Every structure is written in structure tokens, then in C-alpha cells.
Structure 1
Amino acid sequence: MRALVFTAPGTVEMREVPEPTPGPGEVLVHVAASGICGSELHGVRTPGFRVPPLVMGHEFAGRTDDGTRVVVNPILSCGRCDLCALGGRNVCRERRIIGVHTPGAFAERVAVPAGALVRLPDELGWTAAGIVEPAANAVHAWALAGAPAGARVGVIGAGAIGLACMLVAASGKAARIEIADRSVERREIAARLGADAATPELTGEYDVIFDAVGAAATHEQSLACLRPGGVAVWLGLADSTAGFDAAHLVRGEKRVLGSFAYQDADFAAAVDLAGQWDLSWVATFPLAQGAEVFTALMNGRATPVKALLVPDPTPEPR
């Protein structure tokens, strides 16, 4: 079986790998679309959380052997701890992630636990199915912010997560949404998708700010542009440095919330939302071109915003 393998720092290669063999309680998924995530680009540049050799790919959809169309929730939790009992499988202390701790979907086939499968509506195309996982991150972040209809929303970063945050906020009836990104191309995409303003940096005052970058400078910007009493939700993982003035945080009674992945209800909501969005910012590429596409994105190419790898031509449902 052909797969895109993370083989060494800064290197991914197309290789022949053994066919996956489903174990007890597992199902074989024939991959139809698998998204390249920014966390994977960062992880290959600076290995640590992901250890080579590894077949990555945690954002994916496909078919089971019986033809059922599914999207896969890649978070594998223990299901027994206090956090799982509270619905927080995403923060389970023993969680594992498909494509990080187990082989992922940058391949033709992958074996996953049956409980990770979420059935897709017949009318949902593979492109939309392939962005359900990043969409679920944005749904979760919006919920953490309080789903504030009528809010002034700022988004830092017009990558896939940032655009998803913008689209979820629009669905949630935010009053105004502004997005910041250094890339002219990405700002143009954000404006086309409905951003009220798209600029290199946020300059206004906002009720809610989503930081989809996660650098020290964007942490600082998210708090500087937040109104007193507002909330900044940090989704990005670019830098572990906090980079902000804690006294300013206290005096403005501002809040910072970390947002990691999603809960099951967020994932289900993302399935419904993804089919409603303009996905012209998502591009598909044959798995055979995976190393070339991944490396170009890792080295700073701004477009496409979202790349999906497709093992075989798979017709969209009519």
C-alpha cells in the first residue's frame, strides 16, 4: 500500500508500507480525502510530538468495506476517567490521536476503532467531509467563547482554522468579523468568504478574538485588541511562549481560554456546517503528489489554504 511517511526532520516521502490489519473492534477505512494540517507541517519541521517514521493524517473521511461513507473522529480517549465522564474526551489524560500515536490517513487505507466513525449524510461531498475535523475545532472554540451572537469578532490567522472560526462565527450571527493575516492571498480569500475587514494585523477592539496562529506576538495582539471583559480563545500552537502582559490582563479583566480539538457534539455540528460553506479555498491533490505538496506548504507556500490528499479519484455524490 502506498503512503506518505514522515521519515526524518523536515522530510516526508512516498513509500510502500504494510497493509493495515484491523484488530478487535477496528474497521478498515478506504480513504477518500485526508487534509494536511498546520500542526503536521510544524511537527515535521520540529519533531517532538510526532516521531518518525510515521504515517500522519488525522483529518479524513472515506468508506468502510461495506460502502458506508464516514468521517473519522481521530481522538481516542480512555472512556473511563473523570474527564471522559464529563464529556471532555478531547482533554482525556490518556488520549491518543490517529495520525500521531497510531498510523493515520496519508495512505490508501487505515484501520480505526469502530467507535471513531461518524456516518456522513449522502449529500455531503468528499471535499466538505475532508474539512469536518478543522471545522469541529472552530465549533468548539465558538462554544468556549459563549457563542455570543452580536459580538465583534477578531480572528488572527487566515489559514484553515482561522477561516473556519470566521465561518462559524458568521453562522453564529456575529455582528462584525475582522480577520488578520500577513498573506495578501489569504486576506483576499477571507474577504471573498465574507469577512467585514481583512488586514495584516487586527487594529480594532473586539468582544472575542480567536488566535489561530499561536505565536508570542499573536498572543500579545489578541489581548491588546480585546475589550475589557472580553475573551481571547487560543487555538494555535506555533509557539509555547505566552508573550503577554499579565498585569494588562488583570486590569482589563480579560479572559484567555485554551481550545484543544473538540467534543463529540462539536464534531457532529461540524458535519452539518461543512456542507453549507463556500469551500473554494480547499484544493485536492493525488496522494502520489503528497510529498511535493506537503513540502511546499511546510516551506511557506500560502496557497492553497487547505490541501486534501486523495488516494484515488472518488466521485462526489450527486
Structure 2
Amino acid sequence: MRALVFTGPSTVEMDDVAEPEVGEDDVLVHVRSAGICGSELHGVRTPGFRVPPLVMGHEFAGVTDDGVPVTVNPILSCGTCDLCRDGLRQVCRERRIIGVHLPGAFAERVAVPRSALHKLPEEMSWEAAAVVEPAANAVHAWRLADVAPGARVGVIGAGAIGLVCVLAALTEDTASIAVADRSPERRRMASLLGAATVGGELSGEFDVVLDAVGTGETHEQSVRLLRPGGVAIWLGLADAGAGFDATMLVRTEKRVLGSFAYTDDEFARAAELVGGWGLGWTASYPLESGAEIFTDLMRGGSHPVKAILRP
């Protein structure tokens, strides 16, 4: 079958690969849509967490052999440890991720555990289905923030994760949402989706700041702009530097929480939400164009915000 393969640093290539091995507890999913994630762009530039050769793709949907439309929770856990028993499968010490540790969905077909399937409504578009996984990240981040109605919310970064954070926050009773991004086009999209203010940087004071970029600079901004007692949620993974004076947390009782993924309930909630969201910031391309699209985004291209590959 055809697949987009991560073959080496900064290199992805279309190639013919072996058909998936379908185990006794697995289901073969015929991929209909697979989103390119910013973490994959970063991972190809700086291999480590993802090791080539690898078929990536963890944001995806498709149909089973009997035609059932499904999306897939790509996080696989042991299911028996203390964390899994407490409903925290996403931080299981033994977790594996489809598209990272196992072959993913930048391909015509992928084998996944039956337990990872989530049935979709027949009327959901494949573009919306591919956004369920990133949307689940936003639902989780918002729940971690645990903010009161009327909270002042800042979002740093209007890429796909930043925009779904805006949409998730708008689902709640927030007073105002400010979005910062260097791209005028992405700022325009955030405004169209409902952000009250947009700009190159955040200004003012916030109850919660969601950092969907993850550099030392944005980490520093996310903490500095919080009110005393506020919370910064870090979702971005651009670099490892913390970037701020930690004594600020002590003196003002600000909090910083990491947000890696989502619980099963949050994944299901995301599947309920995305069908009603504006998704004009996504664009679909044939899988055969995957190497060109992926490479352009990896080299700094900003359009589209979310590229979705369609086998």
C-alpha cells in the first residue's frame, strides 16, 4: 500500500510499504482522513521521540471492513496500573502511541486495537473527524485550567491547537478570549472563530493563559501575564526551556500545568463538539501530495493551519 514515510532528519517520502499486520484484537481501518500535527513537523526536524523509518499519523478517521465510520484514540496504555485505574491512561508509564511507537495513519490502511475505536456519526465530515484528536487536547487543557465563568483567557499561538483551544473555551462561559500569533492570516482566523482581541503578542492580565507554542519566550509570557493565583496551561512542545524566573510562582502563587493529551471521556466529548465547529482553517490534500505538503509546513509554511491528508 502507499504511505508517507519519515525516513530521516527533515525527510518524508511517499513509498510502497507492507500491508498492516492485523492481530487477534486489532481492526483494520481504511483511512479516510489524517491530520498533520505540529508535533510531527517538530519530530521530523529533530528525531528522537519519533524514530525513522516510521509511518506517522495519529489524528485520523476511517472506516472498518464492514463500513463503520470511526476515529481512533491513538494512546494505548497498559490498562492495569494505578494511573490507568484512575482514568489517567494518557500518562500511563507504559503508554504507546499510534503513529509514534506503532505505524500510523499516513497510509491507506492501519491496524489498531479494537479498544481504540470510537464510532462516529454517519453525517460527520472526514475533515471534522480528523480534528477530533486535536480537539480532545483542547478539551483536556480547558478542564485542567478549571476556570470560573467569566474568566479572562489568553491563547498564545493560533495554529491548530491554539484554534481548537479558542473553540473549546467558547463552548464555556468565558468573558473574553485574546489570541496572539505572528501570522496575520492566523490572527484573522482566530477573530472569525470568536476571539475578542488578536495581536502579535498578548497584553494585559489573564486568569488563564494557554501556551500552544511552547518556546522559552512563550513560556515566560504565559506566566508573566497571569494574575496572581492564575494558571498557565502548556500544550506546545517547540523547545525544552522553561524560560521564566521560577520565584515568580512562589511570590504570586501562579501555577503552571502541563497538558499532554486527554482522557477517554474528553476524547468522546471532543467527538461531540467538532461537528458544530467552524473548520475553515483546515484543507484537504491527496495522500500522494503528502511529502510536498508536509515539507512545506516543516520549513515554515503557515497555510493551511491544519493540513489533512486523504488517501
Q: Same fold (TM over 0.5)?
A: yes
Partner of 1:315 in structure 2?
Answer: none
Question: What SS class does the counterpart of residue 275 from structure 1 fall into?
Answer: helix
Partner of 1:258 in structure 2?
Answer: 258
The superposition leaves residues 180-201 of structure 1 with CA deviations (integer Å, 9 ceiling, x where unpaired) of 0011111111111111011111
- Counterparts of 1:101-112 in structure 2 under 5 Å? 101-112=101-112
The superposition leaves residues 38-81 of structure 1 with CA deviations (integer Å, 9 ceiling, x where unpaired) of 00000000000000000000000000000000000000000010
Tell me how far apart the structure 2 counterparts of residues 223 and 79 of structure 1 sit (CA, whole Å).
35
Tell me how far apart the structure 1 counterparts of residues 173 and 88 of structure 2 sit (CA, whole Å).
26
* 1:186 partnered with 2:180: no
TM-score (norm 2): 0.99
Partner of 1:100 in structure 2?
Answer: 100
TM-score (norm 1): 0.97
Shift of 1:124: 1.2
Partner of 1:277 in structure 2?
Answer: 277
Question: What SS class does the counterpart of residue 188 from structure 2 fall into?
Answer: helix
- Counterparts of 1:114-263 in structure 2 under 5 Å? 114-263=114-263
Aligned length: 311
Contact 2:147 2:208 in 1 (8 A): no
| Counterparts in 2 of 1:54 and 1:46: CA distance versus 1, 3 Å | same
Contact 1:211 1:233 in 2 (8 A): yes
| AA partner of residue 192 (structure 2) | R
Gaps of 5+ in 1: 312-318
- Counterparts of 1:46-57 in structure 2 under 5 Å? 46-57=46-57
Contact 1:147 1:172 in 2 (8 A): no
| AA partner of residue 154 (structure 2) | G
Tell me how far apart the structure 1 counterparts of residues 170 and 33 of structure 2 sit (CA, whole Å).
26
Partner of 1:30 in structure 2?
Answer: 30
Partner of 1:15 in structure 2?
Answer: 15
Contact 2:284 2:310 in 1 (8 A): yes
The superposition leaves residues 10-43 of structure 1 with CA deviations (integer Å, 9 ceiling, x where unpaired) of 0000000001120110000000000000000000
The superposition leaves residues 266-293 of structure 1 with CA deviations (integer Å, 9 ceiling, x where unpaired) of 0000001100101000000000000000
| AA partner of residue 270 (structure 1) | A
| AA partner of residue 5 (structure 1) | V
Shift of 1:147: 4.7
Question: What SS class does the counterpart of residue 127 from structure 1 fall into?
Answer: helix
Shift of 1:102: 0.3
Tell me how far apart the structure 1 counterparts of residues 209 and 30 of structure 2 sit (CA, whole Å).
38
Partner of 1:316 in structure 2?
Answer: none
Partner of 1:6 in structure 2?
Answer: 6
Shift of 1:149: 2.2
The superposition leaves residues 241-261 of structure 1 with CA deviations (integer Å, 9 ceiling, x where unpaired) of 111111111111101100111
| AA partner of residue 198 (structure 1) | V
Tell me how far apart the structure 1 counterparts of residues 174 and 201 of structure 2 sit (CA, whole Å).
20
After superposing on structure 2, the runs of 4+ consecutive aligned residues of structure 1 that deviate more than 2 Å are none
- Counterparts of 1:291-310 in structure 2 under 5 Å? 291-310=291-310
Contact 2:25 2:113 in 1 (8 A): yes
Identity of aligned residues (%): 68
Tell me how far apart the structure 2 counterparts of residues 293 and 286 of structure 1 sit (CA, whole Å).
10
Partner of 1:314 in structure 2?
Answer: none
Tell me how far apart the structure 2 counterparts of residues 190 and 154 of structure 1 sit (CA, whole Å).
12
Tell me how far apart the structure 2 counterparts of residues 199 and 226 of structure 1 sit (CA, whole Å).
17
Contact 1:148 1:172 in 2 (8 A): no
Partner of 1:85 in structure 2?
Answer: 85
Partner of 1:66 in structure 2?
Answer: 66
Partner of 1:76 in structure 2?
Answer: 76
| AA partner of residue 239 (structure 1) | D
- Name the stretch that deviates more: 122-131 or 78-87: 122-131
Tell me how far apart the structure 2 counterparts of residues 177 and 122 of structure 1 sit (CA, whole Å).
33
Tell me how far apart the structure 2 counterparts of residues 308 and 187 of structure 1 sit (CA, whole Å).
21
Tell me how far apart the structure 1 counterparts of residues 69 and 217 of structure 2 sit (CA, whole Å).
42
Shift of 1:204: 1.2
Contact 2:153 2:178 in 1 (8 A): yes
